[in-house]
Amino acid sequence: MLELKSVRTYYGNIQALKGIDLLVERGEIITLIGANGAGKSTTLMSISGVVPPKSGDILFEGQSIVGRDPDVIVGMGISQVPEGRRIFPHLTVRENLDMGALLRRDRDGVRRDLDYVYSLFPILAERKNQAGGTLSGGEQQMLAISRALMARPKLLLLDEPSLGLAPLIVQQIFDIISQINRENGTTIFLVEQNANQALKVAHRGYVMETGRVTMADTAENLLANEEIKSAYLGV
Ligand code: ATP
């Protein structure tokens, strides 16, 4: 579904990605793990077109998406939930969700997807007329994921969904990520510092260090790998 080939991305003179190769198959949950500053967020932003790569290629369903505008990439079926959630704090929950469906013309489909996200996160239905900024951190994360789902993505990019959330909420968010993948077949690309939880829901994982992919394996093998255990799993 998605292939990155020798992707190099810069911020001015700083090279954040030094030639990334990776593959995401349809229907998978892939996780990208690594320390702070390894280049995980930059990888997602290169895919979504927010920070386009300087060289290399990114193929989505066989077509190059490098150089396309972010809204065109959303229209092709890739939605990103950015780190720190970035919901619209002054808009209501319902208005935030409507923003996610802005590019769609299939009203019946949009209504069905609204019912679906309310069934995933009933608290959002209860708070639909409340301003997004008044929600708790966990609820804002639920809203950010739901807003991305309202675009009906084929590929969902999630940047650190567990960041700053209480353990119980983290568990709930990871359970829902699995559920979205299972029920809709949505392919998920999950960037996480919480490697343990991420590898438990993922099928495969990639490890990044200072702008490079250093390891790729099944999630099961990465969880059992001694190097990964001591560097990222705290065991
Ligand atoms: P984190 O978990 O902290 O988000 P990350 O693995 O996602 O880490 P990136 O945010 O992709 O890493 O950062 C990769 C490199 O690019 C780092 O060296 C970082 O300092 C640098 N970088 C990121 N954003 C910018 C920016 N806007 N301007 C300049 N350098 C940046």
3-state secondary structure 40-81: HHHHHHHHHCCCCCCEEEEEECCEECCCCCHHHHHHHCEEEE
What is the distance between the alpha carbons of residues 33 and 13, in angstroms, rounded to a whole number?
25
Amino acid letter, residue 17: L
User: How high is the pLDDT of residue 235?
Assistant: 65
In contact, 81 and 157? CB cutoff 8 Å: yes
* Residue percentage of the chain with pLDDT more than 90: 86
| Residue 184 alpha carbon to ligand 1 centre in Å | 32
Average pLDDT over residues 77-99: 92
| Residue 72 alpha carbon to ligand 1 centre in Å | 24
Every domain of the chain and the residues it spans: 2-90+156-232
Q: Is 15 helix (H, G, I), strand (E, B) or coil?
A: strand
Residues 6+ apart with CB under 8 A from 40: 32, 33, 34, 159, 191, 208
pTM of the shown model: 0.94
Q: Is 201 helix (H, G, I), strand (E, B) or coil?
A: helix
Ligand 1, atom 16, residue with closest C-alpha? 16
What is the distance between the alpha carbons of residues 48 and 64, in angstroms, rounded to a whole number?
12
User: How high is the pLDDT of residue 208?
Assistant: 95
pLDDT digits (tens, 9 = 90+) for 122-141: 999 999 999 999 999 999 99
CATH architecture of 2-90+156-232: 3-Layer(aba) Sandwich (3.40)
Whether the pLDDT of residue 85 is over 80: the answer is: no
User: How high is the pLDDT of residue 147?
Assistant: 95
Q: Is 228 helix (H, G, I), strand (E, B) or coil?
A: helix
pLDDT digits (tens, 9 = 90+) for 153-193: 999 999 999 988 888 899 999 999 999 999 989 999 999 98
- Our mutation pick for probing the ligand 1 site, out of 42, 192, 193, counting the most ligand atoms within 8 A of Cβ, is 42
